[in-house]
Structure 1
Amino acid sequence: MDIYLFLYLIFIVAPAGTAIHEMSHMLGAKSVKADKILLTIGTGSIIYRTFRKKIHLVIRLFFFAGGMAYSERKTPYQPHERIRIAVFGPVGSFLAAGICAWFYIVFSSSYLLLMLLFNLWIAFINIIPFRFKNKQSDGYTIYEAIKQK
């Protein structure tokens, strides 16, 4: 991997793939009428913050290092609603990978292939149920909601 491809992965692909995944959760939360949605991209100090309608967006200094979507509403979510929100993330990543695959077929490029593979990786990793410290995968959220039913 050359340095340009590596920098592209760190500063473009990772934040874009993470944003797509987390915005998909946001759409899932909107579909179940969340009262408040917090979308955070990265870690570290806040470099940008905005609030529109029910959505609070925060971008942090290390914007290439993960993200998180959190939503809430006055009436607690039912298990099927939590599943819906959790499923939207990997589905959004799979759709992004599909779009990248189409573009890759038409305009073969290492940059498109990297975007395709990263979105597939995010989708597959998130459907595996696991928990690490205070974080859990979408698959784990789905597993917990199914157990609760």
Structure 2
Amino acid sequence: MIGTILVLIFLVAPLSQLIHELGHIIPGLLFRSDHSELHLGRGKVLLSWKQKRVRVCIHLLFFQGAYSLNERESFFSNREKIWISAGGPLLNGLTASSLFFLSLEEGYGSFTLPFLFNLYLAVINLIPFSLKGKVSDGYRILQALKRCK
């Protein structure tokens, strides 16, 4: 049980959050963001690299969340904002689907925990909510949809 919790905290969650944030970065780049950043964790930056328009930073407490940003001189349209916000949950959903079929073939072994966590990220991030100044992807999508009218 302790081993499973440690695997979840130090391996599955960070990798799933990395996938989620890549899901935001990819549409940002497709919509020609001038600069994109992906941060995994909190605290001191342990590792940082830049490849063209993308900077990636891995922090000391890599298991404590993640965030990304896409910046462009001209504003992103509401349609672009919807795709950028939806990209994270969509990529987690695609990852969860792949892991589900792998876990079926394996007999619910090592792919089950990553499947469940990616499914969790996909679903929970689509729920529109705002908490202590932070908003979910679903909230961003809903706000952009309202402005489309």
Same fold (TM over 0.5): yes
Task: Output the CA distance in 2 between the equivalents of 1:110 and 1:135.
Answer: 35
The SS at the match of 1:15 is helix
Displacement over 3 Å in runs of 4+: none
For 1:103, the equivalent position in structure 2 comes to 102
Query: Equivalences for 1:32-111 in 2 at 5 Å?
Result: 32-111=31-110
Separation of aligned partners in 1, 2:130 and 2:69: 16
1:107-130 Cα deviation digits (max 9, x unpaired)? 124431110000000001100011
Rounded to whole Å, the distance in 1 between the matches of 2:59 and 2:110 is 25
1:30 deviates by 1.0
Cα deviation, residue 133, structure 1? 2.2
Q: What is the distance in 2 between the residues matched to 1:30 and 1:54? A: 8
Distance 1:136 1:64 in 2: 20
CA shift, 1:8, in A, is: 0.7
**Paired residue for 1:3?**
2
Aligned partner of 1:20 in structure 2 is 19
Query: How many residues get paired?
Result: 148
Deviations 1:51-81 (Å, cap 9, x if unpaired)? 1100011111111111001001011001000
TM-score (normalizing by structure 2)? 0.95
- Give, in angstroms, the shift of residue 40 of structure 1: 0.5
Give the alignment's TM-score, normalised by structure 1: 0.95
What is the alpha-carbon distance in structure 2 between the residues aligned to residue 136 and residue 110 of structure 1? Answer: 34
Deviations 1:75-99 (A, max 9, x none): 1001000001011111100011011
| Contact map agreement 1:5 1:111 (CA 8 A) in 2 | no
Superposed CA RMSD: 1.0
The percentage of counterpart residues that share the same residue type is 34
Distance 2:63 2:110 in 1: 17
Q: Which runs of 5+ in 1 are unaligned?
A: none
Aligned partners of 1:61, 1:111: CA distance in 2, in Å? 26
